[in-house]
Structure 1
Amino acid sequence: MSTLNFAKPKNAARAAEFVAFVTDKETEQVLKSYVLEQAMPHAYVATGNIDDAIAYLGKMDRSPQFLLIDLHGSVMPLSDLGRLAEVCEPSVQVIGIGDRNDVGLFRSLLKIGVRDYLVKPLTVELIKRTVNVSEGSVNQVMLARAGKTIAFAGTRGGVGVTTLALNVARHLAEDTHRRIAYVDLNLYGGSANSMLAMQSNNGLADVLQNVHRLDPQYVERTLVAKGSRLYMLSAELDYGIANPYEKGGLARVLALLCDSFHYVILDVANSADPLANEAFDHASRVYLVADRSVHSTREAVRKLRFIEDRDNNPATSLLLNNVSISSAGKVEQADFAAALTRNVLYEVLYEPKAVSLAENLGEAPSAKTVSGFNQMIKRIASDLTGQRMPEEANVLSKFRLRKR
């Protein structure tokens, strides 16, 4: 075989991209079958220990892309792999093979940079699940933990987006002990700060103007704390000042926030704004708030298509809010659902006083005066976290919410 270098010709190793040293013939045969099935050029599979691998790799002009090393018989595997690292380029993706189903060893190997550890006996299917030839990488054993980006948007102004989003954020921070970053995307002053009795420090404008200088400490300094777990990122630019948004800037900010917070709540002020478009591109979940007017129904159809017709395809839920006490001329809920060809997650009823009063005072709505509203917030939060509350007999729960 000219391309599958199972033998040890003098120059074959110098072109090898897939190299494996194993201590038994059974494992060697499995790896050869895998290489044949994948039609991998420039592969080298042989019996030998880690010393044989070190000697072999030391003669190569370039290190292989994939390196499988059998640790059977190694008394000090971490030390031996350290010696191996001295003859390998940092880009080499190393997979350890052994007989010990040892969690401690597995964790130690991951810490020193080994991509995975496979316990014998191996199978071709196991190797295929581990080595992704088409992407040239070893499939990750685990993904780094990161927070989720959640967007709240409305079909039109005044449907209660900030009221709903902010109270969900407050509940997640205070009652479920998550760290929450609330990002008000209205650069000219959204209502979230006044609802929390806070002043904006123009932090959002700052980070969007300095995208190329951002690091976790920089972003942390732009956040304003409300308690120990809820943080605000906002702006209040003077009218007439140019929008400082730079394409791709919000993505960088969200990536840094997701490294430090369980949830990043995006309050999307204007769906036509470039910031909103990027927010939807990076949201894992979107809540679209509508009312039962004809205009809102038509806009809901358009905005659902706008939000979901993108590569990340965020999961989207509808929240139907009654922003006035009058019922005359409203679209019936069944007609609303039929027009959108999907069900409404929750419908919320008009709240005449208590929520609005709490917002003006910068306080959380009282559990005594708006118990139904707070229960609604808990339900949305439970839907978001996946920890659902017990279902009531009525399929669609109706609670109270006043427009912002």
Structure 2
Amino acid sequence: MPLAPDGSGADEHIAPAPRVSLQAFCETVETAAAAQAAGEDRRLAKAHVKIQMGGIKAAVEAYRSSPTPNVILIEAGSRADDILHGLDQLAEVCDAGTRVIVVGTINDVTLYRELTRRGVSDYLIAPVGTLDVVRSVCGLFSSPDAKPVGRIIAVVGAKGGVGASTIAHNIAWSIGRDLSLDSVVTDLDLAFGTAGLDYNQDPPQGIADAVFSPDRVDTAFVDRLLSKCDEHLSLLAAPATLDRVYDFGTEAFDAILDSLRGSIPCVVLDVPHQWTGWTRRLLTGADDILVVAAPDLANLRNAKNMVDLLRAARPNDHRPHYCLNQVGVPKRPEITPADFAKALEDQPLAVIPFEPQLFGTAANNGQMIAEVSSGHKTADMFRQLAQTLTGRAEAKRSRSLFSPLLSKLIKRSS
């Protein structure tokens, strides 16, 4: 699948591969480059990838004296007989259970059937792109009858106090209520998280129980930690207490997210505004990212830094989305949405106006915006954000329900 002009892939959801070893034996530098780039993709983050040249002959020689990995990717020649003969030789030195992906130039159903008969897991027609390799490898570990792996949406503030948690909680609520999609909102600010307050919940257990007991994490254990907010939305709450220090390693949340992915269609991460190994890992590993910024200079700088870094770290994904919040505070000088769009080279996904009465009432009552005023334009914005971030709607920036408000704000600020 070709990349979009901005370097992002098409809107598809590819399940990440487990911790496996992959060795590729290529004949062309183009295929080697695609395999190398695939090894750097977030969906193969747990895989150990090694690239070599030489094709089938090199693979056969390599495995005469060493065990084979979980997956072998072979770039074959241009003649069907040579490909089949090479695979027969490889089969003599290949360990049981090793899966083989073949890259070739022959587009022929007879050859494909012969490859399948010999146990080849997948056949790709050259030239291949990065996502072709990622899709093929990841597809080996997703059975056709398995439930789809859950989509992870990460919401993070460009600066503290910009309302990122409120936006994350309202988006999650809209995903469950308006889209009828089973979802979990995960509050990752363990010391000061507000998800319990916003949903008017006080669960006795939450994410701390999972992160401090990674060996116990499985689907049944996680289910016991979830607090039901409504029919389709559950909460994995933060303890919001200061009786312990919450210092985590880079992979501290891997086990619980893997468990959530396997059982919940949509997981919304409320990521606190801090820059650590684990927050960076969560953001780069998410399927979709929303950066929330207020209209001032520090937010502009931070949002640009975050978007640029995440774009570079996720070359095969959609670029991170961003939205502006708390726009239009009376008498406060603000940087215009147009200036944000110029600096970030992208229009904001939403421009959410400053509505202290609406948001204050919702926060103090433990309600969502749509529960306070379902017909309010801000509630409609959260519905639009939910649709876009779950892949249910195309990202509409420059021409959408936000456009009239965006134009008005630009005129007011100019």
Query: Which TM-score bucket, shorter chain as reference?
Result: 0.5 to 0.7
Counterpart residue number, 1:344: 348
Counterpart residue number, 1:269: 272
**Is 2:80 the counterpart of 1:34?**
yes
Which residue type is aligned with residue 364 of structure 2?
N
Q: Count residues with an aligned counterpart.
A: 310
User: How many Å separate the matches in 2 of 1:305 and 1:355?
Assistant: 31
Per the TM alignment, residue 358 of structure 1 is displaced from its structure 2 partner at its CA by: 1.8
Higher RCO (C-alpha under 8 Å, 6+ residues apart): 2
User: How many Å separate the matches in 1 of 2:365 and 2:372?
Assistant: 15
**Is 2:323 the counterpart of 1:319?**
yes
Correspondent of 2:122 among 127, 130, 133: 130
Alpha-carbon distance change, 368 to 197 in structure 1, aligned in 2, over 3 angstroms: closer
2:322–2:349: 8 Å Cα contact kept in structure 1? yes
User: How many Å separate the matches in 1 of 2:367 and 2:249?
Assistant: 34
Alpha-carbon distance change, 347 to 220 in structure 1, aligned in 2, over 3 angstroms: same
User: How many Å separate the matches in 2 of 1:142 and 1:327?
Assistant: 58
**Is 2:65 the counterpart of 1:43?**
no
**Is 2:288 the counterpart of 1:288?**
no
Deviates more, 1:125-134 or 1:297-306: 125-134
Please give the secondary structure, in 2, of the residue aligned with 1:166.
Answer: helix
Please give the secondary structure, in 2, of the residue aligned with 1:265.
Answer: strand
Per the TM alignment, residue 319 of structure 1 is displaced from its structure 2 partner at its CA by: 0.3
Which of the pair has more CA radius of gyration? Answer: 1
Which residue type is aligned with residue 274 of structure 2?
S
**Is 2:357 the counterpart of 1:353?**
yes
Q: CA RMSD in A?
A: 4.0
User: How many Å separate the matches in 2 of 1:389 and 1:137?
Assistant: 27
What TM-score do the two structures reach when normalised by structure 1? 0.65
1:2-401 equivalent positions in 2, closer than 5 A = 33-34=79-80, 36-37=82-83, 40=86, 42-43=88-89, 91=97, 122-123=110-111, 127=115, 130-131=122-123, 140=140, 144=146, 145-236=148-239, 238-239=241-242, 241-243=244-246, 245-311=248-314, 313=317, 315-323=319-327, 325-326=329-330, 328-365=332-369, 366=371, 368=373, 371-388=376-393, 396=403, 398=405
Unaligned runs of 5+ in 1: 5-16, 18-30, 45-59, 66-88, 96-119, 400-404
Which residue type is aligned with residue 384 of structure 2?
R
Which residue type is aligned with residue 347 of structure 1?
V
Counterpart residue number, 1:78: none
2:198–2:367: 8 Å Cα contact kept in structure 1? yes
User: How many Å separate the matches in 1 of 2:310 and 2:100?
Assistant: 41
User: How many Å separate the matches in 1 of 2:238 and 2:248?
Assistant: 12
Alpha-carbon distance change, 206 to 35 in structure 1, aligned in 2, over 3 angstroms: farther
Alpha-carbon distance change, 130 to 329 in structure 1, aligned in 2, over 3 angstroms: same
* CA displacement 1:23-71 (0-9 Å, x = unmatched): xxxxxxxx99435147726539xxxxxxxxxxxxxxx9x8966xxxxxx
User: How many Å separate the matches in 2 of 1:367 and 1:38?
Assistant: 66
Per the TM alignment, residue 167 of structure 1 is displaced from its structure 2 partner at its CA by: 1.1
1:201–1:235: 8 Å Cα contact kept in structure 2? no
Per the TM alignment, residue 160 of structure 1 is displaced from its structure 2 partner at its CA by: 1.6
* CA displacement 1:132-162 (0-9 Å, x = unmatched): 7999989648665111110001111221212
Please give the secondary structure, in 2, of the residue aligned with 1:398.
Answer: helix
Deviates more, 1:127-136 or 1:155-164: 127-136
User: How many Å separate the matches in 2 of 1:271 and 1:202?
Assistant: 24
Unaligned runs of 5+ in 2: 1-55, 57-67, 69-76, 102-107, 126-132, 407-414
Alpha-carbon distance change, 124 to 176 in structure 1, aligned in 2, over 3 angstroms: closer
User: How many Å separate the matches in 2 of 1:124 and 1:376?
Assistant: 48
User: How many Å separate the matches in 1 of 2:244 and 2:263?
Assistant: 31
User: How many Å separate the matches in 2 of 1:217 and 1:63?
Assistant: 41
Q: Percent identity?
A: 21
Per the TM alignment, residue 228 of structure 1 is displaced from its structure 2 partner at its CA by: 2.5
